[in-house]
Amino acid sequence: MAVETTKSSLQLQGVRLTRQRKILLDLIDKSGKHLDAESLYQLARLQDPKLNRVTVYRTLKMLKVGGLVDELDLMHHSGDQHYYETRMKREHAHIICLRCGKVEEFFGEPLLQIRKQVEEMFGFQILLTRTEIGGYCATCQPQRAQELDEAAVGA
């Protein structure tokens, strides 16, 4: 998401893009990771040691309510933690390894086809879609198979 687009969206909502808000938006947008609030707080403090947790949580809430970020649970892999990403990204699916927690993003035509099919079948106007797919990444599959074998032997 371009900071100018975000700035315009915030201004339309009567919200200033403060230095601390810009730091958080940049981290969410440019980190290349799905960050939870605590990770955002720790990374933001490296850039502004005066930033506090309350500011991070209030900013995340304001950005979420304002439609600029999405709050994701990513199949609750790490408990009840929520992760944040900018909403201005193209529609995509999150592929989550249930063993190691690795998250990949899938952008592709099948997602657009599903969306179109749902709209046509149900006469539904879709504003937002979230797709999560859980399984085991290539690295974890052999380890998972070994765990299942060991569990079967012990049963």
- Which CATH number goes with the domain that contains 128? 3.30.1490.190
If asked whether residues 60 and 105 sit together in one domain, one would say no
Q: Where is the domain boundary, 89, 123, 139?
A: 89
Region of poorest pLDDT, from 4-18, 28-42, 81-95, 137-151: 4-18
| CATH number for the domain that contains residue 5 | 1.10.10.10
Q: Is 132 left (phi over 0), alpha (psi -120 to 50) or beta?
A: beta
**CA–CA dist 71, 91 (Å, integer):** 14
For strand 83-86 and strand 69-72, is the pairing parallel, antiparallel, or unpaired? antiparallel
Task: Identify the domain boundary among 89, 113, 133.
Answer: 89
Looking at residue 56, its pLDDT comes to 93
pLDDT of 77-111, one tens digit each? 766 778 888 776 678 889 999 999 888 989 889 98
Residues 49 and 119 in one domain: no
Q: Which residues of 121-155 are buried (b: 16+ CB within 10 A; e: fewer)?
A: eeeeeeeeeeeeeeebbeebeeebeeeeeeeeeee
Mean pLDDT of all residues in 31-56: 91
- pLDDT-derived band at 29, boundaries 50, 70, 90: confident
Backbone angles phi, psi at 70, to 5 degrees: -105, 145
User: Domain range holding 19?
Assistant: 1-89
